[in-house]
Copies of this chain bind each other. A is one copy, B any other.
């Protein structure tokens, strides 16, 4: 019966794999905590935070910034409205639009969420030195803006072109 060293396998792994695994682990540890303590999941909290930081923000801005799908954003907003964490104020100039604001309950929830996130992040980053945390954040930030850039997309397209499949289809 062979026993393979998990860490060793991991050491040879791809960066995307590392990122994904780490993200999944961290999130699956935290999300239930948010749901239990605050009644909303991490994604709802992110939208709430966005609204709290940008009072009056509109649907399309939330969509643009969060990068989430239209239907999804719509559902998340509805959910937050149903929980009375946010408030909707129709735009007087264009009745299709509306601005969003956090209610008092929403502000409290957001504040609790912040404390929870702080605790969760502190725990996650416990093994790193402060300087290393900064390094990590900076590196991830650079990669993210690269990945979101047009040049990256062009690169991906070029890759598509340059590979020949296992067999012609």
- Chain A interface (Cβ within 8 Å of chain B)? 2-4, 6-7, 9-12, 14-23, 25-27, 29-30, 33, 36-39, 42, 46, 50, 53-54, 56-58, 61, 64-65, 67, 105, 108-109, 112, 115-117, 119-121, 123-128, 132-133, 135-137, 139-148, 152-153, 155-156, 159-160, 162-166
Contact = CB atoms under 8 A, between A and B. Distances in A.
B124 A22 contact: no
Given A14-B117, A112-B166, A159 B9 contact: no
A140 B54 contact: no
Interface SS of chain A = helix
Q: How many identical subunits does the complex contain? A: 2
Given A11-B141, A38-B165, 14 more contacts: A2-B61, A6-B65, A16-B120, A17-B46, A18-B140, A18-B141, A22-B140, A22-B143, A29-B156, A36-B160, A105-B166, A123-B152, A123-B159, A127-B146
